[in-house]
Amino acid sequence: MALSSELVGELQELLGAARAHLEWEEQLGGPGLAVGSAPASVVAAAPVGMLQSVAEPAASAAAAFQPPASAATIPQPFAAPSAPTPTVTVPHVPGSAEERVHGLAALAQEAAACTACVLPEGRTKSVFARGNPQSEIVFVGEGPGRDEDLQGEPFVGRAGQLLDRMIVAMGYGRDDVYICNVVKCRPPENRTPRPEEALACQKFLLPQLELVAPKVIVALGRCAAQALGAAHPSGAWRGRWSEWHGVPTMSTYHPAFLLRSPEFKRTVWEDLQLVMARLGKPPAKRAT
Ligand code: SF4
C-alpha cells in the first residue's frame, strides 16, 4: 500500500526524533533510547538515507520532555527567550597570542600563591584552567572539587568526564576548549563558593577571560552565571543569552547537577545546540 506524503513526513519526523534522542543519550552518557519512545522495528526498518537526513532533535521530541515532579527543590528550567540573541563581539584583545598565553601563565602563578579569601585553608593546589587558551569557546564552572584540588586541573572528576563527553558531542576535542572556574581554590566539602569568595576571585577570572577572548562563554551552573552577570534579578538564569563584556554568554546546568539529575541532560543539550548555532558549527554528530 502506498503511503501518503503526509504520512511519510510524519514517519520521518518520528524517526529523526528517535535517532536524535538515542544519540543524545549516548553522547552524554545516558542509558540510550527509552523503551517505548519509538518501536525498534520501525527504526530498524527505516531506510538508511531517511535516518541520515535528520541532523537535529525534532521539536516534537523537545516538547515531549518534561521535568519530573520531584524536581521541585532543584533549579527549574524556563523557556529560552524568543528575542534575538546578542551578536558576537570579541572584547579588547590584549597583545599577541604569545603575550596572552604568557599573561595567563602569570595569572596562574599569582593565583597559586593567593590568600585573598579563606579558601586556601583547605587548598592542595590552586586550579586555574585547562585546555586551549586561544579557544573560541570557554566553559566556566563554579570551583574545584576534591579530584581537581589534588590534580590542579579543573573538571577531571566524574562531572568533568561528563563535560568532556558533551564537548566531544559538540564537535571539539577535549583540549580544544578552555575550561576554568569562578574560584581557583577548593571550597570545603565542595560547597558553592560564597559571594565574597567569588568576588575576591574576579581579579583572576576577568583578566583570564579577557586574555582568552573567546567568541562564546558557557556558564555552568547558577554560581558561574551570577559571576558573569548572566543571572536575571528575577532569579532566572538558565537557557538564555546574556553578554559578558560583549561576548555572548549561555548559562546552563553544571555537569555535577546532571550526575544527580540526568533527566536534565536533554535541557543542557538544547542549550549547547544554541551555542553551536551561534558559533556556526554544524549540528551534533556522534561522539568519537
Ligand atoms: S579562591 Fe581565588 S581569591 Fe580566593 S585565595 Fe584562591 S585564588 Fe585567591
Residues 6+ apart with CB under 8 A from 63: none
Helix (H) / strand (E) containing 64: helix 59-64
Nearest to 101 by CA among 135, 152, 151: 135
Nearest to 160 by CA among 285, 259, 288: 259
Encode pLDDT of 77-126 as tens digits.
Answer: 333 333 344 444 444 556 889 999 999 999 999 999 999 999 999 899 99
227 close to ligand 1 (CB < 6 Angstrom):
no
Residue 180 alpha carbon to ligand 1 centre in Å: 13
Q: Which atom of ligand 1 is nearest to the CA of 111?
A: 7
pLDDT of residue 2: 55
DSSP-derived secondary structure letter, 252: E
pLDDT of residue 3: 58
Average pLDDT on 128-137 reads: 97
109 close to ligand 1 (CB < 6 Angstrom):
no
Residue 95 alpha carbon to ligand 1 centre in Å: 26
pTM of the prediction? 0.71
Average pLDDT on 225-245 reads: 93
Bigger pLDDT: 123 vs 1: 123
200 close to ligand 1 (CB < 6 Angstrom):
yes
The count of residues in the chain is 288
Angstrom distances, CA of residue 41 to CA of 44, 45, 46, 56, 61: 5, 6, 9, 22, 19
How is the chain split into domains, by residue range? 7-60, 97-278
112 close to ligand 1 (CB < 6 Angstrom):
no
Q: Range with the lowest mean pLDDT among 43-57, 107-121, 262-276? A: 43-57
Read off the pLDDT band of 232 (50, 70, 90).
confident
Q: Record the cell numbers describing residue 98, joined without a space.
A: 604569545
Q: Mutation test of ligand 1: which of 204, 205, 208 has the most ligand atoms closer than 8 Å to its C-beta?
A: 204
**Residue of the nearest CA to atom 6 in ligand 1?**
185
117 close to ligand 1 (CB < 6 Angstrom):
yes
Q: Which atom of ligand 1 is nearest to the CA of 197?
A: 4
**Residue of the nearest CA to atom 7 in ligand 1?**
111
Residue 144 alpha carbon to ligand 1 centre in Å: 11
**Residue of the nearest CA to atom 3 in ligand 1?**
201
Q: Which atom of ligand 1 is nearest to the CA of 114?
A: 8
201 close to ligand 1 (CB < 6 Angstrom):
yes
CATH of range 97-278; options 3.90.1720.10, 3.40.50.300, 3.40.140.10, 3.40.470.10: 3.40.470.10
C-beta of residue 175 within 8 angstroms of C-beta of residue 132:
yes
Residue 175 alpha carbon to ligand 1 centre in Å: 25
Residue 273 alpha carbon to ligand 1 centre in Å: 33
Q: Record the cell numbers describing residue 208, joined without a space.
A: 583570564
Task: Give the distance, in angstroms, between the CA of residue 143 and the centroid of all CA atoms in the same chain.
Answer: 15
Could you count the other beta carbons within 10 Å of the beta carbon of residue 190? 15
What are the strands, taking DSSP E only, across the chain? 129-131, 137-141, 178-181, 216-220, 241-244, 247-252
Determine the 3-state secondary structure of 248 from DSSP: strand
115 close to ligand 1 (CB < 6 Angstrom):
yes
User: What are the φ and ψ backbone dihedral angles of 21, each rounded to 5 degrees?
Assistant: -65, -45
User: What are the φ and ψ backbone dihedral angles of 136, each rounded to 5 degrees?
Assistant: -80, -10
Q: Range with the lowest mean pLDDT among 20-34, 39-53, 201-215, 231-245? A: 39-53
Average pLDDT on 152-166 reads: 97
Task: Please tell me the distance from the alpha carbon of residue 106 to that of residue 103, in angstroms, as a whole number.
Answer: 5
pLDDT of residue 41: 33
DSSP-derived secondary structure for 130-167: EE-TT-SEEEEES---HHHHHHT-SS-SHHHHHHHHHH
Instruction: Report percent pLDDT > 90 for the chain.
Output: 62
Determine the 3-state secondary structure of 34 from DSSP: coil
